[in-house]
Amino acid sequence: MTIIDLPSPNHAPRPTDAEVDILVLHYTELPLEESLEALCDGDRDRRVSAHYVVAEDGTPYRLVAEEHVAWHAGQSHWRGREGLNATSIGIEIVNLHGDRHDYPAVQVDALIELCRSILARHPAIVPRNVVGHSDVAPRRKVDPGLRFPWARLATAGIGLWPRAGARPVDGDMQTALQRFGYPPAADDVTTSDIIATFQRRFRPSREDGIADRETRALLADLLEQVGEQP
Ligand SMILES: [Zn+2]
3-state secondary structure the chain: CCCEECCCCCEEECCCCCCCCEEEEEECCCCHHHHHHHHCCCCCCCCCCCCEEECCCCCEEECCCCCEEECCCCCCEECCEECHHHHEEEEEECCCCCCCCCCCHHHHHHHHHHHHHHHHHCCCCCHHHEEEHHHHCCCCCCCCCCCCCHHHHHHCCCCCCCCCCCCCCCCCHHHHHHHHCCCCCECCECHHHHHHHHHHHHCCCCCCCCCCHHHHHHHHHHHHHCCCCC
Q: Is 224 a catalytic residue?
A: no
Residue 134 Cα to ligand 1 midpoint, Å, equals 7
Q: How far from each other are the two terminal CA atoms of the chain, in whole angstroms? A: 40
Residue 31 Cα to ligand 1 midpoint, Å, equals 14
pLDDT above 70: percentage of residues in the chain: 100
- Out of 33, 37, 67, 92, the active site residue is 92
What is the phi/psi pair of residue 169, to 5°? -55, 130
- pLDDT tens digit string along 14-58? 999 899 999 999 999 999 999 999 999 999 999 999 999 999 999
Whether the predicted pLDDT of 63 surpasses 80: yes
Residue 6 Cα to ligand 1 midpoint, Å, equals 19
Whether the predicted pLDDT of 86 surpasses 80: yes
pLDDT above 90: percentage of residues in the chain: 98
Residue 202 Cα to ligand 1 midpoint, Å, equals 18
Residue 28 Cα to ligand 1 midpoint, Å, equals 7
Cα–Cα distance list, 65 to 3, 89, 117 (Å): 12, 9, 14
pLDDT for 128? 98
pLDDT for 229? 81
Residue 172 Cα to ligand 1 midpoint, Å, equals 29
- pLDDT tens digit string along 111-147? 999 999 999 999 999 999 999 999 999 999 999 999 9
- pLDDT tens digit string along 204-216? 999 999 999 999 9
Q: What is the mean pLDDT of residues 68-86?
A: 98
* β-strand partners of 68: 13
Residue 26 Cα to ligand 1 midpoint, Å, equals 4
Parallel/antiparallel/unpaired status of strands 52-54 and 60-62 = antiparallel
For the chain, give the mean pLDDT: 97
Residue 73 Cα to ligand 1 midpoint, Å, equals 6
Whether the predicted pLDDT of 230 surpasses 80: no
pLDDT for 126? 98
Whether the predicted pLDDT of 81 surpasses 80: yes
